[in-house]
Amino acid sequence: EAGVAQSPRYKIIEKRQSVAFWCNPISGHATLYWYQQILGQGPKLLIQFQNNGVVDDSQLPKDRFSAERLKGVDSTLKIQPAKLEDSAVYLCASRRSLAGGTYEQYFGPGTRLTVT
């Protein structure tokens, strides 16, 4: 079973530029998450999709961040314009349901963004 794929792995941009990240979840996983991991901190959820609908985007800075999952499979996360404090690793995860109503999240390798 292929894992969660993300690209690019690394990106360096200047502040005020725009950037986009791509995620392909594990086949069949209906739930997809985007997390932001700032250096020295744990991942923080930005947005959660169930198929192509948004379940939770309460911590997404909507003035500059946007995300979509148009066909319920791949997803893109965009930042426009970027700020210095957006430097972080952006992790994508997808969720598999287990017996008994529980679940397991699988993470991609992440995209390391550096804003200069």
Partner 1 sequence: AQSVTQLDSQVPVFEEAPVELRCNYSSSVSVYLFWYVQYPNQGLQLLLKYLSGSTLVESINGFEAEFNKSQTSFHLRKPSVHISDTAEYFCAVSDRGGSNYKLTFGKGTLLTVNP
Among 77, 91, 113, 115, binds partner 1 (CB under 8 A): 91
Q: Does 76 bind partner 1 (CB under 8 A)?
A: no
> Pattern 24-53, binding to partner 1, x per CB under 8 A?
-------x--------xxxxxx--x-----
Please identify, among the stretches 18-26, 62-70, 74-82, 91-99, the one whose residues bind partner 1 according to the rule CB under 8 A: 91-99
Cross-strand partners of 67:
77
Minimum separation from the CB atom of position 83 to partner 1 (A): 22
Of the candidates 30, 24, 28, 61, the residue with the CA atom closest to the CA atom of residue 48: 30
Continuous segment of H or E residues that includes residue 57: none
Q: Name the DSSP class of 87.
A: -
Minimum separation from the CB atom of position 46 to partner 1 (A): 11
Q: What is d(CA 22, CA 7) in angstroms, rounded to the nearest whole number?
A: 5
**Cβ-based neighbours of 84, under 8 Å, separated by 6 or more:** 15, 115, 116
Q: Which is nearer to partner 1, 14 or 104 (CB)?
A: 104
Q: Does 55 bind partner 1 (CB under 8 A)?
A: yes
Count other C-beta atoms under 10 Å from residue 43's C-beta.
18
Q: Which residues bind partner 1 (CB under 8 A)?
A: 4, 31, 40-45, 48, 55-56, 91, 93, 95, 100, 102-110
